[in-house]
Amino acid sequence: MAFRTKKLPSCIAFVDFEHWYIGLERQYGVKPDLHAWKEELSQKYDVTEIAVFGDFSNAGLRGELDKLRNVTPMIFDTKNSSEHYKKDFTDFIMLDYIYQKAMTQKNIDTFIIFTGDGHFSSVVRFIINQCHKKVGIYGVTGAVSAQLKLSASWHHELPSDSEVYKTYYKLIAKNFDYLTVHREFGINATPEKIVERISQKHNIEKVEIAKALCQMLDDGYIYKAVVKDEKNQKISILKPNWDLLARDKLWKH
């Protein structure tokens, strides 16, 4: 007897890329991963379209375009040539597109909107109450309107604590890789130097990197070692457990 594969509910997703990019950069010093997000959605939904909106005259956002194009062709540059520019212009174009899809895409089960702006509460209520569809909200942790979350069928904020720390682990592993390649182990591998280097390079609070280092020690990803510096003085440094980092996909050979 053949088993039927359970059909996934269909969804269409709309992404305020300015919210996602700027929120992650300012709070966590990391960048969005649209491909990973689509993979996550695809485990629960038949993703029919992902539409991305943003002012790509911003150098940071523009640098992400190639990665975005590898995931979706639906990219809308919302640059406003007016000297009286407001971010609301992105919201206006995105809202118009969402309303159009809500009125024409009758076969979609769930509308997913990635934003933190309370301006989207009205379209969320319209889709739920008038179109009788579910609406899910994704947003950057700590940057999502309470009104928006209340109006949605469900909401999910990214990144979670575990995702943040995984990102920090990768940055720390990358720093160890740099020290290895450039033969700079020694004073540059002390906890203080590691924290300072990563904090400055990625604009992340030192205390967050320090906490990630402590957790990596507890988890066995790194360990303490004693070496001698240029003056033949003993110093305590940190070294990576490459096998464990590679096994858990925090570092690649």
What are 49-83's pLDDT values in tens digits?
Answer: 999 999 998 888 999 999 999 999 999 998 876 65
How far is Cα 67 from Cα 17, in angstroms, rounded to an integer?
13
**Residue 89: per-residue pLDDT:** 81
Contacting residues for 136 by C-beta, under 8 A, at least 6 apart: 11, 110, 111, 112, 113, 152, 153, 154, 155, 156
Residue-level pLDDT at 82: 61
Those residues with Cβ within 8 angstroms of residue 219's Cβ, 6 or more apart along the chain or in another chain: none
What pLDDT, on a 0 to 100 scale, did the predictor assign at position 1? Answer: 45
Mind spelling out the 3-state secondary structure of 23-79? HHHHHHCCCCCHHHHHHHHHCCCEEEEEEEEECCCCHHHHCCHHHHHCCCCCEEECC
Which CATH number is 10-159's, of 3.90.550.10, 1.10.1040.10, 3.40.50.1010, 3.40.640.10? 3.40.50.1010
Residue 17 pLDDT: 95
Tell me the whole-structure pTM to 2 decimals. 0.75
CATH 3.40.50.1010 maps onto the chain at 10-159
Domain limits, CATH 1.10.10, in the chain: 162-247
pLDDT at 186 (0 to 100): 75
Residue 43, pLDDT score: 94
Q: What angle do CA 67, 70, 72 make, to 5 degrees?
A: 110
Written as tens digits, the pLDDT of the chain (253 aa) is 455 567 899 999 999 999 999 998 887 777 899 998 999 999 999 999 999 999 998 888 999 999 999 999 999 998 876 655 555 688 899 999 999 999 999 999 999 999 999 999 999 999 999 999 999 999 998 899 999 999 999 999 998 777 788 888 989 999 999 988 887 777 788 899 999 999 888 878 899 899 999 999 999 999 998 888 778 888 889 999 999 999 988 888 7
Q: What CATH architecture applies to the domain 162-247?
A: Orthogonal Bundle (1.10)
Residues 6+ apart with CB under 8 A from 229: 186, 187, 235
